[in-house]
Structure 1
Protein backbone atom coordinates (compact mmCIF):
# COMPACT_ATOMS: atom_id res chain seq x y z
CA UNK A 1 0.00 0.00 0.00
CA UNK A 2 2.87 2.35 0.75
CA UNK A 3 4.24 1.76 -2.75
CA UNK A 4 0.87 2.77 -4.26
CA UNK A 5 0.90 6.08 -2.41
CA UNK A 6 4.49 6.76 -3.44
CA UNK A 7 3.52 6.47 -7.11
CA UNK A 8 1.00 9.30 -6.75
CA UNK A 9 1.78 12.98 -6.93
CA UNK A 10 2.08 14.76 -3.60
CA UNK A 11 -1.22 16.56 -4.21
CA UNK A 12 -3.08 13.39 -5.25
CA UNK A 13 -1.74 11.43 -2.28
CA UNK A 14 -2.74 14.22 0.10
CA UNK A 15 -6.25 14.42 -1.37
CA UNK A 16 -6.63 10.65 -1.13
CA UNK A 17 -5.73 10.74 2.57
CA UNK A 18 -8.28 13.52 3.13
CA UNK A 19 -10.98 11.54 1.30
CA UNK A 20 -10.35 8.46 3.44
CA UNK A 21 -10.50 10.64 6.57
CA UNK A 22 -13.85 12.05 5.39
CA UNK A 23 -15.18 8.52 4.88
CA UNK A 24 -14.48 7.74 8.52
CA UNK A 25 -15.91 11.05 9.68
CA UNK A 26 -19.12 11.16 7.64
CA UNK A 27 -19.47 7.51 6.40
CA UNK A 28 -21.08 8.62 3.09
CA UNK A 29 -19.75 10.42 0.03
CA UNK A 30 -22.20 11.54 -2.64
CA UNK A 31 -21.36 12.26 -6.29
CA UNK A 32 -23.05 15.64 -6.46
CA UNK A 33 -23.15 18.30 -3.76
CA UNK A 34 -25.88 20.92 -3.92
CA UNK A 35 -26.06 24.54 -2.93
CA UNK A 36 -29.27 24.52 -0.84
CA UNK A 37 -29.98 28.15 -1.75
CA UNK A 38 -29.59 27.97 -5.55
CA UNK A 39 -29.90 24.17 -5.90
CA UNK A 40 -26.94 24.32 -8.27
CA UNK A 41 -25.26 20.88 -8.46
CA UNK A 42 -21.50 20.57 -8.42
CA UNK A 43 -19.18 17.59 -8.70
CA UNK A 44 -17.85 16.25 -5.43
CA UNK A 45 -14.06 15.75 -5.77
CA UNK A 46 -14.12 13.19 -2.93
CA UNK A 47 -16.43 10.99 -4.98
CA UNK A 48 -14.03 11.16 -7.91
CA UNK A 49 -11.19 10.17 -5.58
CA UNK A 50 -13.17 7.11 -4.53
CA UNK A 51 -13.74 6.20 -8.18
CA UNK A 52 -10.10 6.63 -9.19
CA UNK A 53 -8.60 4.86 -6.19
CA UNK A 54 -11.38 2.45 -5.28
CA UNK A 55 -9.17 -0.65 -5.32
CA UNK A 56 -6.60 0.89 -2.98
CA UNK A 57 -9.25 2.29 -0.62
CA UNK A 58 -11.01 -1.08 -0.43
CA UNK A 59 -7.73 -2.85 0.37
CA UNK A 60 -6.78 -0.25 2.97
CA UNK A 61 -10.19 -0.40 4.66
CA UNK A 62 -10.28 -4.20 4.74
CA UNK A 63 -7.22 -4.17 7.03
CA UNK A 64 -9.21 -2.01 9.44
CA UNK A 65 -12.28 -4.26 9.36
CA UNK A 66 -14.22 -1.90 7.11
CA UNK A 67 -15.73 -2.10 3.65
CA UNK A 68 -16.39 0.47 0.94
CA UNK A 69 -19.76 -0.10 -0.69
CA UNK A 70 -21.06 1.67 -3.78
CA UNK A 71 -24.63 2.31 -4.87
CA UNK A 72 -24.37 2.91 -8.64
CA UNK A 73 -28.02 4.01 -8.88
CA UNK A 74 -27.84 6.65 -6.14
CA UNK A 75 -24.14 7.39 -6.81
CA UNK A 76 -23.07 7.03 -3.19
CA UNK A 77 -19.97 5.52 -1.59
CA UNK A 78 -20.50 4.35 1.97
CA UNK A 79 -18.24 3.05 4.71
CA UNK A 80 -19.60 -0.02 6.55
CA UNK A 81 -18.27 -2.87 8.68
CA UNK A 82 -17.23 -3.71 12.22
CA UNK A 83 -14.42 -1.17 12.12
CA UNK A 84 -16.78 1.75 11.62
CA UNK A 85 -17.47 3.73 14.76
CA UNK A 86 -21.17 3.62 15.53
CA UNK A 87 -22.94 6.79 16.55
CA UNK A 88 -25.94 6.38 18.82
CA UNK A 89 -28.74 8.81 18.10
CA UNK A 90 -30.99 10.18 20.81
CA UNK A 91 -34.69 9.43 20.56
CA UNK A 92 -35.42 13.03 19.53
CA UNK A 93 -32.77 12.98 16.78
CA UNK A 94 -34.07 9.62 15.56
CA UNK A 95 -37.58 11.05 15.28
CA UNK A 96 -36.31 14.11 13.36
CA UNK A 97 -34.38 11.86 10.95
CA UNK A 98 -37.55 9.82 10.48
CA UNK A 99 -39.58 12.96 9.74
CA UNK A 100 -36.98 14.18 7.24
CA UNK A 101 -37.12 10.79 5.53
CA UNK A 102 -40.91 11.09 5.28
CA UNK A 103 -40.58 14.57 3.79
CA UNK A 104 -37.99 13.33 1.28
CA UNK A 105 -40.25 10.44 0.25
CA UNK A 106 -43.31 12.67 -0.18
CA UNK A 107 -41.41 15.27 -2.21
CA UNK A 108 -39.78 12.70 -4.50
CA UNK A 109 -43.10 10.99 -5.16
CA UNK A 110 -45.06 14.21 -5.49
CA UNK A 111 -42.80 16.83 -7.04
CA UNK A 112 -39.65 15.18 -8.37
CA UNK A 113 -35.96 15.49 -7.61
CA UNK A 114 -35.84 19.29 -7.77
CA UNK A 115 -38.19 19.59 -4.83
CA UNK A 116 -36.04 17.93 -2.17
CA UNK A 117 -35.82 20.97 0.09
CA UNK A 118 -37.35 21.36 3.52
CA UNK A 119 -37.28 23.72 6.52
CA UNK A 120 -37.51 23.46 10.29
CA UNK A 121 -41.02 24.83 9.95
CA UNK A 122 -42.03 21.96 7.68
CA UNK A 123 -40.34 19.34 9.87
CA UNK A 124 -42.31 20.61 12.86
CA UNK A 125 -45.52 20.48 10.82
CA UNK A 126 -44.85 16.85 9.88
CA UNK A 127 -44.09 16.11 13.51
CA UNK A 128 -47.38 17.62 14.58
CA UNK A 129 -49.43 15.85 11.88
CA UNK A 130 -47.92 12.45 12.67
CA UNK A 131 -47.95 13.03 16.43
CA UNK A 132 -44.24 12.22 16.55
CA UNK A 133 -43.32 15.65 17.92
CA UNK A 134 -45.84 16.73 20.51
CA UNK A 135 -43.65 19.21 22.39
CA UNK A 136 -41.47 22.20 21.63
CA UNK A 137 -37.88 21.13 21.11
CA UNK A 138 -34.96 23.05 22.54
CA UNK A 139 -32.40 24.81 20.35
CA UNK A 140 -29.83 22.23 21.49
CA UNK A 141 -32.04 19.34 20.34
CA UNK A 142 -32.51 20.84 16.87
CA UNK A 143 -28.81 21.57 16.55
CA UNK A 144 -27.88 18.04 17.61
CA UNK A 145 -30.13 16.54 14.91
CA UNK A 146 -29.03 18.97 12.19
CA UNK A 147 -25.35 18.44 12.99
CA UNK A 148 -25.66 14.66 12.81
CA UNK A 149 -27.61 14.74 9.53
CA UNK A 150 -25.17 17.22 8.02
CA UNK A 151 -22.17 15.19 9.19
CA UNK A 152 -23.48 12.02 7.56
CA UNK A 153 -24.43 13.73 4.28
CA UNK A 154 -28.18 13.41 4.76
CA UNK A 155 -28.68 17.15 4.38
CA UNK A 156 -26.89 20.23 3.06
CA UNK A 157 -27.06 23.52 4.94
CA UNK A 158 -26.33 26.99 3.51
CA UNK A 159 -24.20 27.86 6.54
CA UNK A 160 -23.45 26.85 10.09
CA UNK A 161 -25.94 24.76 12.07
CA UNK A 162 -26.28 27.58 14.59
CA UNK A 163 -27.53 29.93 11.85
CA UNK A 164 -30.43 27.73 10.67
CA UNK A 165 -33.78 29.47 11.18
CA UNK A 166 -37.39 28.38 10.67
CA UNK A 167 -37.41 29.03 6.92
CA UNK A 168 -33.77 28.36 6.08
CA UNK A 169 -33.68 25.94 3.10
CA UNK A 170 -32.37 22.48 4.00
CA UNK A 171 -31.43 20.34 1.00
CA UNK A 172 -32.16 16.62 1.38
CA UNK A 173 -29.91 13.93 -0.06
CA UNK A 174 -31.02 10.41 -0.99
CA UNK A 175 -28.57 9.13 1.63
CA UNK A 176 -31.43 9.54 4.11
CA UNK A 177 -32.71 6.27 2.65
CA UNK A 178 -29.64 4.48 4.00
CA UNK A 179 -30.55 5.38 7.56
CA UNK A 180 -34.31 4.88 7.49
CA UNK A 181 -35.65 2.50 4.86
CA UNK A 182 -39.07 3.07 3.35
CA UNK A 183 -40.24 -0.30 4.66
CA UNK A 184 -39.49 0.77 8.23
CA UNK A 185 -41.29 4.11 8.20
CA UNK A 186 -44.79 2.93 9.05
CA UNK A 187 -43.50 0.57 11.74
CA UNK A 188 -41.42 3.32 13.35
CA UNK A 189 -44.28 5.82 13.21
CA UNK A 190 -46.59 3.34 14.91
CA UNK A 191 -43.96 2.45 17.50
CA UNK A 192 -43.36 6.10 18.48
CA UNK A 193 -47.08 6.83 18.52
CA UNK A 194 -47.67 3.94 20.92
CA UNK A 195 -44.74 5.06 23.05
CA UNK A 196 -46.11 8.60 23.19
CA UNK A 197 -49.58 7.36 24.09
CA UNK A 198 -48.15 5.20 26.88
CA UNK A 199 -46.20 8.14 28.31
CA UNK A 200 -49.31 10.34 28.24
CA UNK A 201 -51.31 7.63 30.05
CA UNK A 202 -48.64 7.34 32.73
CA UNK A 203 -48.60 11.10 33.24
CA UNK A 204 -52.38 11.19 33.53
CA UNK A 205 -52.25 8.48 36.20
CA UNK A 206 -49.53 10.29 38.12
CA UNK A 207 -51.12 13.73 37.81
CA UNK A 208 -54.90 13.17 37.72
CA UNK A 209 -57.07 16.26 37.34
CA UNK A 210 -58.14 17.63 40.66
CA UNK A 211 -61.87 17.67 41.31
Structure 2
Protein backbone atom coordinates (compact mmCIF):
# COMPACT_ATOMS: atom_id res chain seq x y z
CA UNK A 1 0.00 0.00 0.00
CA UNK A 2 1.26 3.51 -0.85
CA UNK A 3 2.31 5.71 2.03
CA UNK A 4 -0.45 8.05 3.13
CA UNK A 5 -3.28 6.17 1.42
CA UNK A 6 -4.54 4.59 4.64
CA UNK A 7 -4.77 8.03 6.22
CA UNK A 8 -7.36 9.19 3.68
CA UNK A 9 -10.96 9.31 4.81
CA UNK A 10 -13.74 7.70 2.80
CA UNK A 11 -14.58 10.90 0.93
CA UNK A 12 -10.94 11.49 -0.06
CA UNK A 13 -10.58 7.89 -1.23
CA UNK A 14 -13.57 8.38 -3.53
CA UNK A 15 -12.12 11.65 -4.83
CA UNK A 16 -8.76 9.97 -5.39
CA UNK A 17 -10.43 7.26 -7.46
CA UNK A 18 -12.34 9.90 -9.43
CA UNK A 19 -9.15 11.86 -10.16
CA UNK A 20 -7.32 8.72 -11.32
CA UNK A 21 -10.16 7.71 -13.64
CA UNK A 22 -10.44 11.25 -14.99
CA UNK A 23 -6.73 11.54 -15.75
CA UNK A 24 -6.72 8.18 -17.53
CA UNK A 25 -9.76 9.25 -19.53
CA UNK A 26 -8.85 12.81 -20.53
CA UNK A 27 -5.08 13.04 -19.82
CA UNK A 28 -5.20 16.71 -18.75
CA UNK A 29 -6.47 18.54 -15.67
CA UNK A 30 -6.51 22.34 -16.13
CA UNK A 31 -6.26 24.46 -12.99
CA UNK A 32 -9.16 26.68 -14.02
CA UNK A 33 -12.15 25.94 -16.24
CA UNK A 34 -15.02 27.98 -17.61
CA UNK A 35 -18.18 27.61 -15.52
CA UNK A 36 -21.30 28.31 -17.58
CA UNK A 37 -23.39 28.72 -14.43
CA UNK A 38 -21.32 31.69 -13.25
CA UNK A 39 -20.15 32.78 -16.71
CA UNK A 40 -16.48 32.98 -15.74
CA UNK A 41 -13.36 30.94 -15.04
CA UNK A 42 -13.44 28.95 -11.81
CA UNK A 43 -10.85 26.80 -9.97
CA UNK A 44 -11.17 23.11 -10.80
CA UNK A 45 -11.70 20.97 -7.70
CA UNK A 46 -10.02 17.89 -9.19
CA UNK A 47 -6.91 19.86 -10.08
CA UNK A 48 -6.78 21.20 -6.53
CA UNK A 49 -7.13 17.70 -5.04
CA UNK A 50 -4.53 16.30 -7.41
CA UNK A 51 -2.14 19.13 -6.54
CA UNK A 52 -2.47 18.37 -2.82
CA UNK A 53 -1.81 14.65 -3.36
CA UNK A 54 0.66 14.99 -6.22
CA UNK A 55 3.39 12.90 -4.60
CA UNK A 56 1.09 9.95 -3.96
CA UNK A 57 -0.44 10.10 -7.44
CA UNK A 58 3.00 10.36 -9.05
CA UNK A 59 4.07 7.14 -7.34
CA UNK A 60 0.77 5.46 -8.21
CA UNK A 61 1.02 6.14 -11.95
CA UNK A 62 4.75 5.35 -12.00
CA UNK A 63 3.90 1.72 -11.20
CA UNK A 64 2.11 1.56 -14.57
CA UNK A 65 4.98 3.28 -16.37
CA UNK A 66 3.05 6.54 -16.66
CA UNK A 67 4.57 9.88 -15.69
CA UNK A 68 2.41 12.44 -13.90
CA UNK A 69 3.64 15.97 -14.64
CA UNK A 70 2.65 19.48 -13.59
CA UNK A 71 3.14 22.71 -15.54
CA UNK A 72 2.63 25.44 -12.96
CA UNK A 73 3.02 28.23 -15.53
CA UNK A 74 0.15 26.96 -17.67
CA UNK A 75 -1.72 25.51 -14.69
CA UNK A 76 -2.02 21.93 -15.95
CA UNK A 77 -1.50 18.50 -14.41
CA UNK A 78 -1.21 15.81 -17.06
CA UNK A 79 -0.09 12.29 -17.90
CA UNK A 80 2.83 11.38 -20.14
CA UNK A 81 3.69 8.00 -21.63
CA UNK A 82 0.07 6.96 -22.12
CA UNK A 83 0.49 5.52 -25.63
CA UNK A 84 -2.41 3.25 -26.48
CA UNK A 85 -4.72 4.72 -23.85
CA UNK A 86 -6.09 7.58 -25.94
CA UNK A 87 -8.22 7.40 -29.06
CA UNK A 88 -7.47 8.19 -32.68
CA UNK A 89 -8.79 11.59 -33.71
CA UNK A 90 -11.08 11.82 -36.75
CA UNK A 91 -9.66 13.90 -39.60
CA UNK A 92 -11.95 16.86 -38.93
CA UNK A 93 -11.02 16.91 -35.22
CA UNK A 94 -7.33 16.84 -36.18
CA UNK A 95 -7.78 19.77 -38.57
CA UNK A 96 -9.66 21.76 -35.92
CA UNK A 97 -6.96 20.98 -33.36
CA UNK A 98 -4.22 22.27 -35.69
CA UNK A 99 -6.11 25.46 -36.50
CA UNK A 100 -7.03 26.10 -32.86
CA UNK A 101 -3.36 25.80 -31.92
CA UNK A 102 -2.51 28.28 -34.67
CA UNK A 103 -5.15 30.73 -33.42
CA UNK A 104 -3.98 30.22 -29.83
CA UNK A 105 -0.38 31.08 -30.69
CA UNK A 106 -1.41 34.14 -32.72
CA UNK A 107 -3.56 35.56 -29.94
CA UNK A 108 -0.99 34.79 -27.23
CA UNK A 109 1.63 36.59 -29.31
CA UNK A 110 -0.58 39.68 -29.15
CA UNK A 111 0.44 40.09 -25.49
CA UNK A 112 -2.41 38.17 -23.91
CA UNK A 113 -2.73 38.51 -20.13
CA UNK A 114 -4.36 35.07 -19.81
CA UNK A 115 -3.30 31.52 -20.65
CA UNK A 116 -6.77 30.98 -22.12
CA UNK A 117 -7.79 32.29 -25.54
CA UNK A 118 -11.25 32.96 -26.97
CA UNK A 119 -12.06 32.55 -30.65
CA UNK A 120 -15.23 31.96 -32.68
CA UNK A 121 -16.38 29.15 -34.92
CA UNK A 122 -16.45 31.66 -37.77
CA UNK A 123 -12.78 32.52 -37.22
CA UNK A 124 -11.94 28.82 -37.12
CA UNK A 125 -13.77 28.23 -40.40
CA UNK A 126 -11.99 31.22 -41.90
CA UNK A 127 -8.63 29.62 -41.08
CA UNK A 128 -9.77 26.36 -42.66
CA UNK A 129 -10.61 28.24 -45.85
CA UNK A 130 -7.34 30.18 -45.76
CA UNK A 131 -5.31 26.97 -45.70
CA UNK A 132 -7.76 25.10 -47.95
CA UNK A 133 -8.00 22.22 -45.51
CA UNK A 134 -11.65 21.21 -45.94
CA UNK A 135 -13.00 20.29 -49.38
CA UNK A 136 -16.64 21.01 -48.63
CA UNK A 137 -19.04 21.89 -45.81
CA UNK A 138 -19.07 19.34 -42.98
CA UNK A 139 -22.31 18.04 -41.52
CA UNK A 140 -23.41 19.19 -38.07
CA UNK A 141 -22.97 15.60 -36.86
CA UNK A 142 -19.31 15.56 -37.96
CA UNK A 143 -18.65 18.97 -36.41
CA UNK A 144 -20.22 18.01 -33.08
CA UNK A 145 -18.31 14.73 -32.99
CA UNK A 146 -15.02 16.53 -33.63
CA UNK A 147 -15.60 19.08 -30.88
CA UNK A 148 -16.85 16.45 -28.42
CA UNK A 149 -13.44 14.77 -28.59
CA UNK A 150 -11.55 18.07 -28.27
CA UNK A 151 -13.69 19.01 -25.29
CA UNK A 152 -13.14 15.62 -23.67
CA UNK A 153 -9.37 16.15 -23.73
CA UNK A 154 -9.71 19.67 -22.29
CA UNK A 155 -8.69 21.48 -25.48
CA UNK A 156 -11.78 23.67 -25.77
CA UNK A 157 -14.97 24.80 -24.09
CA UNK A 158 -18.02 26.36 -25.75
CA UNK A 159 -19.14 29.62 -24.18
CA UNK A 160 -22.40 29.75 -26.16
CA UNK A 161 -25.06 27.30 -27.32
CA UNK A 162 -23.52 25.69 -30.38
CA UNK A 163 -26.67 25.40 -32.52
CA UNK A 164 -27.55 29.09 -32.27
CA UNK A 165 -25.70 31.62 -34.49
CA UNK A 166 -23.10 29.03 -35.41
CA UNK A 167 -20.51 31.41 -36.90
CA UNK A 168 -20.61 33.67 -33.82
CA UNK A 169 -20.33 30.82 -31.30
CA UNK A 170 -17.45 31.59 -28.93
CA UNK A 171 -14.89 28.90 -28.19
CA UNK A 172 -12.42 29.03 -25.32
CA UNK A 173 -9.08 27.37 -26.07
CA UNK A 174 -7.45 25.91 -22.97
CA UNK A 175 -3.63 25.97 -22.57
CA UNK A 176 -3.62 22.15 -22.66
CA UNK A 177 -3.33 22.56 -26.43
CA UNK A 178 0.27 23.74 -25.89
CA UNK A 179 1.21 20.33 -24.51
CA UNK A 180 -0.23 18.46 -27.49
CA UNK A 181 1.35 20.33 -30.39
CA UNK A 182 4.44 22.43 -31.02
CA UNK A 183 4.27 25.29 -33.53
CA UNK A 184 6.69 23.47 -35.84
CA UNK A 185 4.46 20.39 -35.83
CA UNK A 186 1.43 22.51 -36.71
CA UNK A 187 3.07 24.10 -39.76
CA UNK A 188 4.19 20.73 -41.10
CA UNK A 189 0.83 19.04 -40.59
CA UNK A 190 -1.10 21.96 -42.05
CA UNK A 191 1.08 21.73 -45.15
CA UNK A 192 0.44 18.00 -45.53
CA UNK A 193 -3.33 18.40 -45.15
CA UNK A 194 -3.36 21.29 -47.63
CA UNK A 195 -1.36 19.26 -50.18
CA UNK A 196 -3.78 16.35 -49.73
CA UNK A 197 -6.78 18.56 -50.51
CA UNK A 198 -5.01 20.04 -53.56
CA UNK A 199 -4.19 16.53 -54.84
CA UNK A 200 -7.84 15.52 -54.44
CA UNK A 201 -8.93 18.63 -56.35
CA UNK A 202 -6.48 17.92 -59.19
CA UNK A 203 -7.60 14.29 -59.35
CA UNK A 204 -11.22 15.39 -59.38
CA UNK A 205 -10.55 17.86 -62.20
CA UNK A 206 -8.76 15.19 -64.25
CA UNK A 207 -11.68 12.81 -63.78
CA UNK A 208 -14.07 15.56 -64.82
CA UNK A 209 -12.07 16.27 -67.99
CA UNK A 210 -11.80 12.55 -68.79
CA UNK A 211 -15.53 12.02 -68.36
CA UNK A 212 -16.23 15.12 -70.46
CA UNK A 213 -14.04 13.77 -73.28
CA UNK A 214 -15.83 10.42 -73.16
CA UNK A 215 -19.22 12.12 -73.28
CA UNK A 216 -18.08 14.33 -76.16
CA UNK A 217 -16.81 11.31 -78.08
CA UNK A 218 -20.12 9.51 -77.64
CA UNK A 219 -22.03 12.60 -78.75
CA UNK A 220 -19.84 12.95 -81.85
CA UNK A 221 -20.54 9.36 -82.86
CA UNK A 222 -24.25 9.90 -82.43
CA UNK A 223 -24.13 13.05 -84.54
CA UNK A 224 -22.24 11.25 -87.33
CA UNK A 225 -24.75 8.42 -87.40
CA UNK A 226 -27.65 10.86 -87.46
CA UNK A 227 -26.14 12.60 -90.51
CA UNK A 228 -26.08 9.41 -92.59
CA UNK A 229 -28.52 9.25 -95.52
CA UNK A 230 -30.87 6.24 -95.61
CA UNK A 231 -28.99 4.66 -98.54
CA UNK A 232 -25.71 4.91 -96.63
CA UNK A 233 -27.28 2.78 -93.93
CA UNK A 234 -28.44 0.21 -96.56
CA UNK A 235 -32.08 0.96 -95.74
CA UNK A 236 -34.31 3.32 -97.71
CA UNK A 237 -36.85 5.61 -96.13
CA UNK A 238 -39.64 3.04 -96.43
CA UNK A 239 -37.60 0.29 -94.80
CA UNK A 240 -36.73 -1.52 -98.10
CA UNK A 241 -33.36 -3.10 -98.78
CA UNK A 242 -31.22 -2.37 -101.82
CA UNK A 243 -32.81 -5.18 -103.91
CA UNK A 244 -36.28 -3.67 -103.52
CA UNK A 245 -37.64 -6.14 -101.02
CA UNK A 246 -38.59 -5.17 -97.56
CA UNK A 247 -36.89 -6.58 -94.50
CA UNK A 248 -39.38 -9.46 -94.26
CA UNK A 249 -38.21 -10.76 -97.64
CA UNK A 250 -41.56 -10.16 -99.41
CA RMSD of aligned residues (A): 2.5
Superposed displacement of residue 161, structure 1: 6.7
Q: 1:100 to 1:121 in 2, by over 3 A?
A: same
The answer to whether the 8 Å contact 1:36/1:170 transfers is no
Q: How many residues align?
A: 211
Shift in Å, 1:119: 2.1
Question: Residues 25 and 86 of structure 2 are in contact (CA less than 8 Å); yes or no, is this contact kept in structure 1?
Answer: no
User: Could you say what secondary structure the match of 1:207 adopts?
Assistant: helix
The structure whose RCO (Cα within 8 Å, separation 6+) is larger is: 1
Deviation readout 1:15-56 (Å, 9 max, x if unpaired): 111111110111000111124797622111111112111111
Alpha-carbon shift at residue 3 of structure 1 (Å): 6.2
Structure number with greater Rg is 2
Contact 1:37 1:158 in 2 (8 A): no
Where 2:102 maps in the other structure, the secondary structure is helix
CA contact (8 A) 2:120 2:167 kept: yes
Q: SS of the residue aligned with 2:74? A: coil
Q: Which residue of 2 aligns with 1:105?
A: 105
Structure 1 alignment gaps of length 5 or more:
none
> For residues 38 and 108 of structure 1, do their structure 2 counterparts lie closer, same or farther at Cα, with a shift above 3 Å needed?
farther
Q: 1:1-211 to 2 correspondence within 5 Å?
A: 1=1, 4-35=4-35, 40-82=40-82, 85-110=85-110, 112-113=112-113, 116-158=117-159, 165-208=166-209, 210=212
TM-score (norm 1): 0.88
Q: What's the CA shift string for 1:154-187, capped at 9, x where partnerless? A: 1122478777933222111111122221121221
Paired residues of 1:64 and 1:83 also in contact (CA < 8 A)? no
TM-score (structure 2 length as normaliser): 0.75
Distance change in 2, residues 1:170/1:151 (3 Å): same
**Structure 2 unpaired stretches of 5+:** 217-250
CA 1:146 to 1:162, structure 2 compared with 1: closer, same or farther past 3 Å?
Answer: farther
